[in-house]
Chains A and B, each alone.
Chain A
Amino acid sequence: MFDNHKYIAFKTIVTREVRRFSRIWVQTLVPPAITICLYFVIFGNLVGRRIGEMGGFQYMEFIIPGLIMMSVIQNSYSNVVSSFYSAKFQKTVEELLVAPIPNYIILSGLIAGGMCRGLAVGVIVTVMSLLFSDLNIQYPAITVSIILLTSILFSLAGFINAIFANSFDDIAIIPTFVLTPLIYLGGVFYSVQLLPTFWQIVSALNPIFYMVNAFRFGILGSSDIDVRWAFLILFIFIAVLYTCCIWLLRSGKGIRT
């Protein structure tokens, strides 16, 4: 396959993915925006006023980066898992599998689709946050690179979930029982400095904790961790998950009999 053919195939997959989540925007773009808006109102505005400062910032300012990150993680993940599992379920994945497309192009297209939705929701949430607080991004390069890498990572994770899923229940289990607790315990709503030492150590085992803090560092210029750890962890996880995804595609697990 020529490079131009590969590029066209990649673009086709991305276009299809974007068209899919745009077509059902009421299900994909509106609910996360409303949920996060409620977080802003309840935690940031109503409860936050009583909390006062957190990590040297107004509570609303403190939670905005974490909430943006949460929406990007959840939407990147759920776009790939729901799109690819539906394709498996409806057998439309066969269209991709019979075509002369290398596995890495298939994967890249799906990941780019997941990123598009994750970042689209991230932008919507960011714009909404401006209604509640000013946003002065301290380190734009760190902010953008952390959000992009996180989006890639959770799109890859969503793909692995979709490969192993055998029912629609299976695509809800990981987001509900693993992802959401990890995000909530990843310092979205609090500074890890508030926790007893034991729970600080436990938090350090949660990879999302590093991503949330690095993103907060990019926006506010303050973090509980050294952002280099966040980059290292992201690169390692992306490399491992990407390798797993390519291996799963090559082996045909869950998609070829």
Chain B
Amino acid sequence: MTIAISIADLKKTYGNGFEALKGISLEVEEGDFFALLGPNGAGKSTTIGVLSTLVKRTSGKVQVFGKNVDTHIYETKYDLGLVPQEFNFNQFEKVQDVVITQAGYYGLPKKLAIKRSEKYLRKLGLWEKRDEQSRSLSGGMKRRLMIARALAHEPRLLILDEPTAGVDIELRRSMWKFLGDINASGTTIVLTTHYLEEAEQLCRNIAIIDDGLIIENTSMRNLLTQLDSETFILDSFTNIGNLPNVQIDGVSIRKLDDKSLEVTLSAENNINQVFIELDRMGVKVSSLRNKTNRLEQLFLSRLERNGSK
């Protein structure tokens, strides 16, 4: 398997003395959908900045698809598409021109650039807006425009720095679908996000960065199995009455209101046991959901363990 990104002992100290990265090492395989998570100021954007050459690293080695970013500057840049956190396109340009211009920077002939701009503006629902000034777009549309722009040269690796920040839930889900399709077609995706549900839904592998260090780097599945306990909210068809006296080791139940219960069970327990017990007591469960996102639980516990404030 080809390694899309290889970072070894990457350090970055800014001019003001702030040590943003304290020696991180990371590998992302080709075709992966990878999440880079961490609290604000942890070093996510700095890592992305180094990969995209916008940030000069202090030390360490960075390779993209096996090529050193110092010695193969243009090849590695060509392989990479960047969707930054802040809007960084010319707000006075027409929507389609933003994409065509970026394609031109990557050496795409005009005809092909127009074709690609149409392809991605259509896919991202912006084709109708192609002749409008980009500043007139809504926040969500601007984010999609940056994705279309990053894809214009069809990079092998797409890096998205909080692409769904400030985007409503409906649009966010359509963007997830789009990114899933792009990934399925072979594009490696690295994503930073504060929406942990997003990372859990989309990503196969994950790294958590805190205070300039990687504190967790594993597959999403592995990470989620490390949950010590999980808390569910169970809704009932009928009034529950008194709190059911369920006697199962490792399970605790709390009544939230007349029609819902909060059930916490340890990793060794099976939710089916709880259903059986509740059914025996006449509680008919109509629906079940996690109280908090599982990844969020893990994320916070890892940060706590790392002593993050």
Q: Which residues of A contact B (CB under 8 A)?
A: 1-2, 4-6, 8-9, 11-13, 15-16, 19, 23, 90-92, 94-102, 252, 256-257
Contact yes or no, B77 A98, CB < 8 A? yes
Contact yes or no, B54 A95, CB < 8 A? no
Contact yes or no, B107 A95, CB < 8 A? no
What distance in Å separates the Cβ of A208 from its nearest Cβ neighbour in chain B? 33
Contact yes or no, A90 B53, CB < 8 A? no
Contact yes or no, A257 B56, CB < 8 A? yes
Q: In the bound complex, what is the Cα–Cα distance between A91 and B49 (angstroms)?
A: 13
Q: Could you say which of B74, B89, B92, B105 contacts A12, with CB atoms under 8 Å apart?
A: B105
| A-B residue pairs, 10 tightest by C-beta | A5-B107, A12-B104, A99-B105, A100-B74, A100-B77, A91-B88, A1-B74, A100-B78, A8-B107, A94-B88
Q: In the bound complex, what is the Cα–Cα distance between A92 and B97 (angstroms)?
A: 14
User: Chain B residues near A1 (CB, 8 Å)?
Assistant: 74, 78, 107
Contact yes or no, A90 B90, CB < 8 A? yes
Interface residues on B, range: 20 to 34
What distance in Å separates the Cβ of A9 from its nearest Cβ neighbour in chain B? 5
Contact yes or no, A11 B77, CB < 8 A? no
Q: Which residues of B contact A (CB under 8 A)?
A: 14-15, 49, 52-56, 73-75, 77-78, 80, 82, 84, 86, 88-93, 97, 101-102, 104-110, 149
Q: A98-B53, A98-B77, A100-B74 are in contact. Are A92 and B88 (CB under 8 A)?
A: yes
Contact yes or no, B88 A97, CB < 8 A? no
Contact yes or no, A5 B106, CB < 8 A? yes
Q: A257-B49, A257-B56 are in contact. Are A11 and B88 (CB under 8 A)?
A: no
What distance in Å separates the Cβ of A207 from its nearest Cβ neighbour in chain B? 34
What distance in Å separates the Cβ of A242 from its nearest Cβ neighbour in chain B? 21
User: Chain B residues near A92 (CB, 8 Å)?
Assistant: 88-90
What distance in Å separates the Cβ of B105 from its nearest Cβ neighbour in chain A? 4
Q: In the bound complex, what is the Cα–Cα distance between A92 and B84 (angstroms)?
A: 11
Q: Which of B53, B74, B107, B149 has the most chain A CB atoms inside 10 A of its CB?
A: B107
User: Chain A residues near B108 (CB, 8 Å)?
Assistant: 8
Q: A8-B109, A257-B55 are in contact. Are A99 and B88 (CB under 8 A)?
A: no
Contact yes or no, A257 B14, CB < 8 A? yes
